Chains A and B, each alone.
Chain A
């Protein structure tokens, strides 16, 4: 592990047993996040990106593979992790309405992590909570109110405040602004960027919004049905996409300005329907929808190769090396 890598995920697999079969939500995913970096994980619903976040946090234990955080192995459920590590690793969930208990006040929600980890002397908890309120730019009297009375932006600010309360070094951001309007989204993202600089944070940023990703992440990985199909630095990823799925996604992004239109790759249309995670197609899981499909695609799973320095892709089109 290089001195720079704060989190290393190797060969991560998470399979769920359901009554209808095995769902391979995450199927052999590997990536690492550098210190103070924002690593973006992009994909549509069913890609497994949220599950990656959940396994990293320990909401589920992995089926296989390893996760190393700050040199420690955390490949297990959150109940079995060292308490010290729990302080350093936090998450902001997508839907602020369900990630904040509607029957607890904002002050109580912020106080919980402080109490659990005893981060303030007895009697000083109130003060710490109010300090956090200042940090997330909410009026102090909101601490007495319930989350339900607030708008989406305020709720998400509280979720961020809760994540920051324990002084973490790494935060998993699971679609933090997908439920918010564009004008509030900008405010929340700016807040996150400010905190990243101020508190030396590293982010795993999960989203399906490519335009947003372009502006927040230094490196991006794109997932499809449980696998990372392409991974590259942000400028390279957006100006020189390799995988047909990446091109399909980029060409479908709704944009406003003519410059963005020019940047988008030529329209790639899907030739089929997306299969559910229950019936992952053999070989390359994307082949039923791929307009460039070849014979080998339905038989052999493409390996991930480093096509250019720092730019990885898993596609037979580029395997002819």
Chain B
């Protein structure tokens, strides 16, 4: 197997809260190759953002990583020192967040924020002139398909529309993303037509620059046209992994099957059924399969032992003991 750009192995993350310990991530593994586009789908609270925060090392202060490794370009990200980590953030990997309004500081002009980032990522060795920084900033805004870049540099975030703010965030991440771009639900807070535009823009940028992408979403349709490999997460576990087409034509894990059925179809067919029950509490979660309490095909053993990931060929892996009979 080719050398992977990012490899997360058996990652566990807990959060310390007053009531006890939230055992959120339960042995999450994923890998992203060079120039590969990977998607993670799952519902809120499933731990996809926590996983990405662990990769970027921006977890909250009450987070604990008891086990697991994150290998990035042969560095162990979890053990890396501050300096090295900063260097990676400035020159190699970057993240776009869900809400562009929250990601931009409202009291600074867009230009100031963008130029700051440019200074730290493009010109790490030599001190640039003001003009060089500005030129680079304008170039970045142009590559994010923003019209009138000079005017935007001079605007405050509240003067821009939601779609434009997200494009500014994309431009900012392009300054430092030379290898890996993580996009956490980039279209969720936007209208459907704007989200469509943003996703197409991202796709084009990623292909032009040969970036690897991790795209997180709870909108399954948005992810489909974009990524080549999909991970499905539920309650802190990777329940299924497959190439995109394979996952849609042959979902194996009961959760994936139910999830795909639960999406209303544009062609009609009535209101889908949904999945009974709710996500288990991370405080009291047991050691068995985390989906067992809501799974119609669950057997006794499912509640006791957590299933490992079984390889069923074709790049398709499932975390379920009974994948054969479903």
Interface pick from B77-85, B99-107, B261-269, B301-309: B261-269
Contact A208 B274 (CB under 8 A): no
Interface magnitude class on chain A: 35 or more
- Chain A residues near B196 (CB-CB < 8 A): 252, 254
Contact A181 B43 (CB under 8 A): yes
Contact A183 B191 (CB under 8 A): no
Residue of A nearest to B43 (CB): A181
Measured in the bound complex, the distance between the Cα atoms of B279 and A270 in whole Å is 40
- Chain A residues near B162 (CB-CB < 8 A): 45
Contact A181 B260 (CB under 8 A): no
Chain A CB within 10 Å, residue with most, of B197, B218, B258, B265 = B265
B220 within 8 A of A: yes
Choose among B161, B163, B219, B271 the residue that contacts A215 (Cβ–Cβ < 8 A).
Answer: B271
Within 8 A of A (CB), among B136-162: 161-162
Interface pick from A53-61, A113-121, A256-264: A256-264
Contact B191 A214 (CB under 8 A): no
Chain A CB within 10 Å, residue with most, of B43, B224, B264, B270 = B264
- Chain B residues near A263 (CB-CB < 8 A): 266-267
Within 8 A of B (CB), among A203-233: 208-212, 214-216
- Chain A residues near B195 (CB-CB < 8 A): 252, 254
- Chain A residues near B272 (CB-CB < 8 A): 186, 215
A190 within 8 A of B: yes
Contact B260 A256 (CB under 8 A): yes
Interface SS of A by simple majority: helix
Contact A256 to B193, CB < 8 A, known contacts A181-B43, A183-B274: no
Measured in the bound complex, the distance between the Cα atoms of B265 and A313 in whole Å is 25
Contact B192 A253 (CB under 8 A): yes
Q: How many residues of B contact A (CB 8 A)?
A: 40
Measured in the bound complex, the distance between the Cα atoms of B43 and A152 in whole Å is 12
Measured in the bound complex, the distance between the Cα atoms of B269 and A263 in whole Å is 14
- Chain B residues near A257 (CB-CB < 8 A): 248, 265, 267
Contact A215 B265 (CB under 8 A): yes
Contact B266 A253 (CB under 8 A): yes
Q: Mark A15-59, 1 if CB is under 8 A from B, else 0.
A: 000000000000000000000000000001100000000000000
A153 within 8 A of B: yes
Measured in the bound complex, the distance between the Cα atoms of B165 and A273 in whole Å is 13
- Chain B residues near A102 (CB-CB < 8 A): none
A126 within 8 A of B: no
B278 within 8 A of A: yes
Minimum Cβ distance to chain A for residue B232 (Å): 12
Contact A190 B263 (CB under 8 A): no
Q: Mark B234-269, 1 if CB is under 8 A from A, else 0.
A: 000000000000001000000000111011111111
Contact A190 B260 (CB under 8 A): no
Q: Mark A231-273, 1 if CB is under 8 A from B, else 0.
A: 0000100100000000011101111110110011000001001
Minimum Cβ distance to chain B for residue A76 (Å): 32
Contact A215 to B269, CB < 8 A, known contacts A44-B192, A274-B161: yes
- Chain A residues near B268 (CB-CB < 8 A): 214-215, 235, 238
Contact A260 to B266, CB < 8 A, known contacts A182-B259, A254-B219: yes
- Chain B residues near A181 (CB-CB < 8 A): 43-44, 218
List the 8 closest A-B pairs by CB distance, nearest first: A254-B221, A186-B274, A181-B43, A252-B196, A44-B191, A187-B274, A183-B275, A260-B266
Enumerate 27 A-B pairs (CB-CB under 8 Å) in ascending A order.
Answer: A45-B191, A152-B44, A181-B218, A182-B43, A182-B263, A183-B258, A183-B259, A186-B274, A189-B264, A189-B271, A190-B271, A208-B191, A208-B192, A211-B263, A211-B264, A211-B265, A211-B266, A215-B268, A250-B266, A252-B193, A253-B266, A254-B224, A256-B220, A256-B224, A256-B248, A256-B260, A263-B267
Additional 12 contacts, C-beta under 8 A, given A44-B193, A190-B274, A209-B264: A182-B259, A183-B258, A184-B274, A187-B274, A214-B265, A214-B266, A214-B267, A254-B224, A256-B263, A270-B193, A273-B161, A274-B161
Task: Spell out B's residues near A (CB within 8 Å).
Answer: 43-44, 161-163, 191-197, 218-222, 224-225, 248, 258-260, 262-276, 278-279
